[in-house]
Structure 1
Amino acid sequence: MPASRTSRTSLPRSTVTREHIIEAATRIADEESIEALTIRRLAADVGSGAMTLYSYFRNKEEILDAIADHVLGGFTLPPAEETEPRAVVQSLASAFLRMMREHPSIVRLFTTRVTTSPDSLRGAMEAVVGRLREVGFEGREAVQAYGLIVHYTLGFASYQAPRPWGKPDLPDVEELCRQRTHFYSALPLAEFPNLVSLAGDVTTLPSDEQFQFGLDCLLDGLLRRIQAN
């Protein structure tokens, strides 16, 4: 008789904890989608009944709040090796973008809810503002620099998410870029003269190169403003 099929995260009912549930929920939301995350699916994934989940969370919204708190609370500051303001903002922006790539669900959660747990405030806000103040951003300037980092990376991550040819970690990214460039270059020339002639450049819009270009422009303006004040 063949062994029964179980979830890869299946645990004895007595060992299912809030942390196990949050980790499984985060994985489903990241690897599939927030829509794919249902109470029934999550219960099956952790190897428990739905009532076990309801003993920790009243509904899916509370689970989504917990995912946001879990991911933001786990944000790790880059090593404090840089002391120059520009380099620090660069490293922080790169760290936020990396977090959003590793946890694509956080991009949507960031725009649909406000997280107020001590862990999320400490990890993704308090520590970041503190690092900015350490390297010379004073008071309100530190908060404004924080806002620039979060708003820019969130916007870029949202744009990049459905465009795989902009993701450098994918093994077939070169082929995806080639296909996208071909798509733009094959458009009717009379209707899209700019997209056709600049097909290769248009393909780079969701790339890290574009992210760096935009960040450099923002930093040029930010640092000039701070120096002027």
Structure 2
Amino acid sequence: MSIVQFENVTRTYTSGDHELKALDQVSFSLDEGKFVVILGPSGAGKSTLLNLLGGLDSPTEGKITVNGRDISTLSDNELADYRAATVGFVFQFYNLIPTLTVYENVELVSMITKNALDAKQMIAEVGLSDHLHNFPSELSGGEQQRISIARALAKNPKILLCDEPTGALDSETGVMILKLLLGMARDYGKTIVIVTHNQSIAKMADVVIRVKNGKIRSINEQENPLNADEVEW
């Protein structure tokens, strides 16, 4: 069942007399519960695509439908509601609040979404129950990233958007994070979308979308994606 549809989506940015088409007539659809990798070099349009899907930006032209709802014409307040209810975000840098404990960082989402999952349960899912009362500065980079994933999942989003989630991590920790994300797609039916320039991560994906110069170059469905342990970095 399709949960995301982009129909002829263009995003143009204007600076003075100069126009830049970050995305140009992009169309694709994603099914629920899939592990999706958007692959391409810097400046290809990957982050613009992610921002549009996440409701952080709106298209100049075209239509974006998520879970049956056209989000391309929503007001700022409606987009805020959409972000709170439908999507979770995981970034390369963890965006944890340094003055809050691990538990408090994850529990925060219960204030912005009605269907939040239990914070302690999500922290347990990422294997950090022993660190509930630690502050982010007391954790390693990999542990902080796992907490940012727990926080995103606690929102109980239908779609989890990840922008270079392993970019700042060593290979061993990166594999751990990818296993965790893949498990969320397989065990919880979440649609996971990862933006990366790392070709190796694409081998794990159900769907690989390659982007270059603002256009979709290819969309490949992989029948036998690798497990995280099988990926060579």
Q: Normalised by the size of structure 1, how large is the TM-score?
A: 0.24
Identify the structure with bigger relative contact order (alpha carbons < 8 Å, sequence gap 6+): 2
Larger radius of gyration: 1
Q: Which has the higher strand share?
A: 2
Q: Normalised by the size of structure 2, how large is the TM-score?
A: 0.23
Q: Which has the higher helix share?
A: 1
